Amino acid sequence: MPIDVRSTAATLAVMGFFVLGFAGWLGGLCPFVCCKRALIGAAATYAVATVVARAVNAILIDAMAERQAERQIRSDHDNRN
């Protein structure tokens, strides 16, 4: 089953935003800097997660198509005999 790219990327970006914001806050940074770094990190996380999810989907779809082709070949071979 293919992965929902937007939902997965958005979820990871939101989680990354809060993790980065909290880490900056623990590091003693001012709120504006924490927010700015967290926003940039969330945007980068969204971009990377989108690329990775699309790659995973391509691999999954390719594997599913290959399995279906093998089943079809076996089915055709069994029907001939």
Number of domains in the chain: 1
pLDDT at 81: 61
pTM for the predicted model, two decimal places: 0.78
**Structural domain harbouring 64:** 5-80
- 8 Å CB contact between 45 and 12: yes
Query: Model confidence over 18-47: pLDDT tens digits?
Result: 999 999 999 999 999 999 999 999 999 999
